[in-house]
Structure 1
């Protein structure tokens, strides 16, 4: 009995180390994908994470699996930011503003390609994650609209397009340079969302479903 307990204690640190290594790899991969795109060499990701190539492949069979996990992680983080803003902010537009800036910090524009390369959009887990995010962001926008702070002619697709475009690296520049102006330009965009509207928008509000059309 004592020997079994000792074996279990020996196994616990190994599991903790494995979990930490996995988390390091995911974090390193996300940073590398933001900076260099989804084709960054996997050995460069392992080096950044401080693990060997064998450790990376023990956790992720191939690039596709790693991309899927990183994209899933980012989607979950964005949704959590929306849920936190919804629960913690008493002012409806401030909740929306907070979400927009926190979602930008996830660098969804730079990671956007992962959502196509790494996701099977018909996978039940992916569908559930997308619906969860869509529901909470829609609620944020509905609350701001009902409080007469958000102009009525914008949709969730409009919001997500703006966040995506304003967090992409500018062509011909290093990706890190986007940090210099990202939040500044997002604030200009948010001011344009406020009611009453100062102009009439062309076309119609963009839906979330339209963004998924390839």
Structure 2
């Protein structure tokens, strides 16, 4: 039925240019809806999300999803890139806008959770092969942005000195994912409360000694 409707629409256009921008805008919105729906599903279910479920959440047909993404891997990769870049932009924005660097760090953590940074677990656990230049660049962009934020907070004396970017990102990713058997709504009730508890544990002076050394994003990428 979807193909019939699309064909009728094409005939109705009759080759005129006036409808082309609208058609492109509709296609762009569909793609954005698919990526947003997949981002939510990745947080809840991991990289094995059923594509039928993603299409249902996005409010599009399966044919529309497959016109935009050839397979699950391509969709997961696109979502991961989106989250990486958007999260990096959040880190850069708070550092530029907040006078207090620890307040900037706190704002970043809460903002990153709203970006569904938990979807990054697909990357941090090695869901993709090494050597993808675009993923490498996006990950490096995020690492540099969060590194700058963490370094400034540490230099201010308000962030405990034994915490690294990797520590921050893995905790944030895990805290922004629902517990097994629960859904997004259950997590949303407590997400920012639990993030604030985590942030309080980052404040200097530290009340305990951490084992091991501060983690980097590179540490999280190492294969056993």
Q: Fold match, TM over 0.5?
A: yes
Name the structure 2 match of 1:100.
109
Name the structure 1 match of 2:175.
166
Q: What displacement does 1:196 show? A: 1.6
Name the structure 2 match of 1:31.
40
Matched, 1:143 2:152: yes
Q: What displacement does 1:175 show? A: 4.1
Matched, 1:46 2:55: yes
| Maintained 8 Å contact 1:38/1:114 | no
- 2-structure distance, mates of 1:85, 1:17: 32
- 2-structure distance, mates of 1:36, 1:46: 15
- 2-structure distance, mates of 1:200, 1:31: 35
Structure 1 window deviating more from structure 2 (29-38 vs 198-207): it is 29-38
| Maintained 8 Å contact 1:155/1:205 | yes
Unaligned runs of 5+ in 1: 1-5
Q: For 1:34-92, what per-residue CA distance to the aligned partner results, in whole angstroms no more than 9, with x for missing partners?
A: 33333332222222222221111111111111111111111112111111111111111
Q: What displacement does 1:18 show? A: 1.2
Matched, 1:152 2:161: yes
Matched, 1:179 2:188: yes
Name the structure 2 match of 1:86.
95
Q: What displacement does 1:97 show? A: 0.6
Structure 1 window deviating more from structure 2 (43-52 vs 186-195): it is 43-52
| Maintained 8 Å contact 1:30/1:70 | yes
Matched, 1:134 2:149: no
- 2-structure distance, mates of 1:110, 1:21: 20
Aligned residues: 209
Indicate the RMSD between aligned Cα atoms, in angstroms: 2.0
- 2-structure distance, mates of 1:128, 1:159: 20
Unaligned runs of 5+ in 2: 1-14
Determine helix, strand or coil for the equivalent of 2:174.
helix
Matched, 1:211 2:211: no
Q: Measured at CA, do residues 210 and 44 of structure 1 come closer, stay the same or move farther in structure 2, by a change above 3 Å?
A: same
| Maintained 8 Å contact 1:71/1:115 | no
| Maintained 8 Å contact 2:154/2:160 | yes
Name the structure 2 match of 1:119.
128
- 2-structure distance, mates of 1:73, 1:184: 26
Taking structure 2 as the reference length, what is the TM-score of the superposition? 0.84
